[in-house]
Chains A and B, each alone.
Chain A
Amino acid sequence: MTPSQRLDATFAALADPTRRAILARLATGAASVTELAEPFAMSQPAVSKHLKMLERAGLISRGRDAQRRPRQIEAKPLAEATEWLEAYRRFWEGNFQRLDALLAEIQTAGGRPAARSKKARRGRRT
């Protein structure tokens, strides 16, 4: 999978509230399918279906215990997804606060502010 495809699989897996709840449960420690099915009032096959999607997205894996086959969380893909999304959110929050400051500066100065550096001016192409 390309990073983009992996991200798609992660988002698709995270789109469902049951799967998010399963992940939250697994974040506290590995658990068997039976243990995972308990709080959801769902059949084991239904839970298995969700687990398959999470597994395909690389969000969970199977432990070594052959009898219980416990599922465990895989932190990396989730970290990748949250990092990108956090970046998106912070990007706009931070940007707009800077824009507030810039707009205030322009209005106080009563005109357009000088560019910060020659480097910045060099970027212009009109």
Chain B
Amino acid sequence: MTTAMTKGGGLKVTARGEREIVMTRLFDAPRELVFAAFTVPELVQRWLLGPPGWMMPVCEIDLRVGGRYRYLWRNMEGVEMGASGTFREIRPPDRIVHTENFDEPWYPGESTVTTELTDKGGKTLLTVTLLYVSKAARDGVLKSPMEGGVAQSYDRLDELLGHMPRPDEARATFS
């Protein structure tokens, strides 16, 4: 199964094999800078924030093989969401491999994230490969609005169903 689409800013999402999702995107900056933006806490805290209204008050990065990172996001209402993992490979300025676990998992198991930066004449092609523990876990993430047909189904359903009561505050902030 291969699914690809382009989102704003050239973000492309593709399914590879049974357990992987690959995201690619071009940045107008040399890869040393992009590498720094992914690994220096003060820089990570500026962009890796998710939906509007969320901040990243905790960003700890022990950038060495076997080192851990810890991200904690918080919104205006004080709702928190955390993720952490371990670095498996670090090769500046073109490759980082780390594990990823969310405090409140939204997919089964631990995923492995490979971040690759390729020089494109002064610009940088970012390739992020997310490897999940099983096909079911990957498909869970993939069977989503990212897939054209499903996106349309969801859009239609959303329109038809209208506004629905939210299960809790945390989810409401993501809607």
Contact = CB atoms under 8 A, between A and B. Distances in A.
Contact of A104 (B23, B28, B105): B28
Interface string B3-23: 000011101000000000001
A119 B140 contact: no
Contacts of B171: 80, 83-84
Contact of B37 (A93, A94, A102): A102
Contacts of A121: 42
Interface in B116-144: 136, 139-141, 143-144
Nearest to B124: A103
Interface in B129-173: 136, 139-141, 143-146, 149-150, 153-154, 156-158, 160-161, 164-167, 171
A27 B106 contact: no
Nearest to A81: B144
B33 A103 contact: yes
B160 A28 contact: yes
User: B25, B42, B145, B150: which has the most chain A beta carbons within 10 Å?
Assistant: B42
A80 B167 contact: yes
Given A123-B45, A126-B62, A93 B33 contact: no
A42 interface: no
Contacts of A125: 41, 60-62
Contact of A95 (B50, B58, B104, B167): B50
A11 B143 contact: yes
B65 interface: no
A76 B47 contact: no
Contacts of B63: 126
Nearest to A15: B143
A33 interface: no
Interface string B46-90: 111111100011111111000000000000000000000000000
A107 B9 contact: no
A61 B3 CA distance: 32
B28 A103 contact: yes
Interface of A: 3-4, 7-8, 11-12, 14-15, 17, 20-21, 23-24, 27-28, 73, 75-76, 78-80, 82-104, 106-107, 112-113, 115-116, 119-121, 123-126
